[in-house]
Structure 1
Amino acid sequence: MKMNRREAVQRISLLMGGVALSGPVVSGILGEKTHFGDSVYATPQQEKLLAELADVIIPTTDTPGAKAAGAEQFIIRVIRDCHPMEEQKEFYASLDTFEKDSKAAFGKGFVALTNDQKVSMVKKLIETDRNFFKRMKNYTAVGYFTSEIGATQALEYLETPGRLEACIPIKPGQKAWALG
């Protein structure tokens, strides 16, 4: 089951309250590469850290969370393929600082923390590095809702829609529609 990425961009924008998506995010959704120079590659430890951090942002509830959807892979690809080297270095420096802060606060890395400790660290991150958190939150949401899991399990997905009906009330408890 494949989604039309261009339509997904428009619909994700609507889901996010009409917030304009940045150029790198749009390029990432469309699978485009806009940075062709040297890149910073995530280490396996950074990849695990990104997965856990994304999973705190969109946790598993009655639907799988960001980690199950592989949102970290989207984040890694967008950072590597759509940001200049300096922004890549800044992103991973912020991630490494976050890991160091976790070790300083709890004596162990973020991945090894309890859920409550992870939430505590993310709340601290919002205060200490708001720009990094906002980028993580944005990339996590886009990576999640454009994944198969996000579009088909977290949202109501209709692969072959019928005619366009602009105003259909959502029933109590119904998920928002994934537009694909």
Structure 2
Amino acid sequence: MSATPSRTNSFIPRREALQRLALLVGATLSLPVQAALRGEPINTTAVRFSADQQMLITDLADVIIPTTDTPGAKAAGVGEFIEYVLGHCSAASQQEAFQLGLNQTEQLSQSAFGKSFSALTRPQQTEIVTQLTRQQKPFFLSLRELTIVGYFTSETGATKALDYVSIPGRFQGDIPMKAGQKAWAV
């Protein structure tokens, strides 16, 4: 006989499923993002971004998640989310590295097109972001993570880009989706 209790069905209890999901998601998100999602600021000396840097952050996020048939990162307020996480939930070294990445983005934009990133056309901005993925990979990966988490945890991302049920009914693990149907927000 086995010492572990047997289950009569293949479902796991809701609490156990949520704990497993939290472990899985928590292990894949950076510490600053985890702290921000928990609402736990860890830095009392928040970095201040200039107005130009704030606009650059917002424009970069909007290139990563542009407006299509759903609102983009700019409309979802992702720039403010990124500024909050960096300013309140990141170590000083992470803040400095991000500011360096912003400065290098501006330098790349100036050398390639002779203009600030925010003054470029969308195809030019996309080209600069593509170059960032190769030349400034750590900065780009941080920016991308912050953009995606900020977007899909915003009201806009959760309700416009995803389907949202504020009070879900019973669990159904295998629901057929119609062609073009949005994924569900959790």
Equivalent residue in structure 2 for 1:32, among 16, 27, 40: 40
- In structure 1, the residue matched to 2:175 is 168
Q: TM-score, normalized by length of structure 1?
A: 0.87
Equivalent residue in structure 1 for 2:120, among 109, 113, 117: 113
- In structure 1, the residue matched to 2:105 is 98
Is 1:138 aligned to residue 141 of structure 2? no
Equivalent residue in structure 2 for 1:78, among 71, 75, 85: 85
CA shift, 1:24, in A, is: 1.0
Aligned length: 166
CA distance 1:155–1:46, change in 2 (3 Å):
same
Q: Give me the CA root mean square deviation.
A: 1.7
- In structure 2, the residue matched to 1:66 is 73
Is 1:178 aligned to residue 149 of structure 2? no
Distance in 2 between the 1:46 and 1:107 partners? 18
CA shift, 1:119, in A, is: 0.5
Give unpaired runs (5+ residues) of structure 2: 1-17
- In structure 2, the residue matched to 1:42 is 49
- In structure 2, the residue matched to 1:152 is 159
- In structure 1, the residue matched to 2:3 is none
Equivalent residue in structure 2 for 1:20, among 28, 32, 36: 28
Give unpaired runs (5+ residues) of structure 1: 1-6
Deviations 1:91-119 (A, max 9, x none): 11110111121011111101110011001
CA shift, 1:127, in A, is: 1.0
Question: Quick one: percent identity of the two aligned structures?
Answer: 46
Distance in 2 between the 1:73 and 1:151 partners? 17
Q: TM-score, normalized by length of structure 2?
A: 0.84
Q: Which of 1 and 2 has greater Rg?
A: 2
Helix, strand or coil for the counterpart of 2:180? coil
Helix, strand or coil for the counterpart of 1:168? coil
Helix, strand or coil for the counterpart of 1:34? coil
Distance in 1 between the 2:171 and 2:109 partners? 49
Distance in 2 between the 1:77 and 1:135 partners? 14
Runs of 4+ more than 2 Å apart = none
Is 1:127 aligned to residue 134 of structure 2? yes
Helix, strand or coil for the counterpart of 1:177? coil
Deviations 1:10-51 (A, max 9, x none): 58x76xxx9711221111122210122x23211111111111
